[in-house]
Amino acid sequence: DTGVSQNPRHKITKRGQNVTFRCDPISEHNRLYWYRQTLGQGPEFLTYFQNEAQLEKSRLLSDRFSAERPKGSFSTLEIQRTEQGDSAMYLCASSLGSAVMSEQLFFGSGTQLSVL
Amino acid sequence: GNSVTQMEGPVTLSEEAFLTINCTYTATGYPSLFWYVQYPGEGLQLLLKATKADDKGSNKGFEATYRKETTSFHLEKGSVQVSDSAVYFCALSEWGANSKLTFGKGITLSVRP
């Protein structure tokens, strides 16, 4: 068990460019979540997957954002035409996906995005 | 909708002091409640949880009791250590099967030797 891995750790881009982040969850985990965290705030839910199916998307996720989990393993989060307001820490988490409501989420260290 | 409110920070304490971090919530139904901690340079990790009213979660000397009547889940520790310096987040997951979390803003705790 190597934990949840996110790449890159840091990304600096110019406004208008596209960026893509990758998340590798813990291997046996069926659920994968994306959160966004800005300075001084708690993480905000963006979207989650059960295996390869994207089951819920927050209204925070504008049409410039897209997430995929093609084979139910790793996931990517792409932001098109980045804006300065997209600057944040993007967190990925995974969980077993059992029927237990209160199951633990395991978080990665995040990707820090800076849009200049 | 669901929300979590944490007391304003940061908090600075001397080693061995008593710690209380307040957390209240608003939710429909019967949420589960959590405290997550983020140590410097690390990802969020679960500290403790409680799944129903009057449950007490505990771990590493920290405790929190699920109080439905006051919609609260305050975090306490009798004697803090320098190694407890971190950011603490209160969170809830609503009834359902997806375990999605709603977080508070977090509070930074610094413990002086």
Chain A closest-CA separation from residue B47 CA (Å): 10
Mean pLDDT of all residues in chain A?
A: 92
Q: Could you give the CA distance from residue B52 to residue A45 in angstroms, rounded to a whole number?
A: 23
Residues of chain B that touch chain A, judged by Cβ-Cβ distance less than 8 Å:
4, 32, 34, 36, 41-46, 49, 51, 89, 91, 93, 95-106
Residues on chain B touching A42 (C-beta within 8 angstroms): 4, 89, 91, 103-106
The per-residue b/e assignment along A70-102, b for 16 or more CB within 10 angstroms, e otherwise, is eeeebbebebeebeeebbbbbbbbbbbbeeebe
Q: Could you give the CA distance from residue A87 to residue B107 in angstroms, rounded to a whole number?
A: 21
CA Rg, chain B, in Å? 14
> Is B103 in Cβ contact with A42 (below 8 Å)?
yes
Specify the pLDDT at position A101. 62
Cβ(A90)–Cβ(B43) below 8 Å: no
Q: Which of B4, B51, B100 sits opposite A33 (nearest CB)?
A: B100
pLDDT in tens, B5-26: 998 889 999 999 999 999 999 9
What residue of B is the nearest CA neighbor of A55?
B98
Q: Which of A55, A56, A109 sits opposite B42 (nearest CB)?
A: A109
| DSSP three-state, residue A106 | strand
pLDDT in tens, A24-67: 999 989 999 999 999 989 999 999 999 999 999 998 888 999 99
Specify the pLDDT at position A38. 94
pLDDT of B96 above 80: no
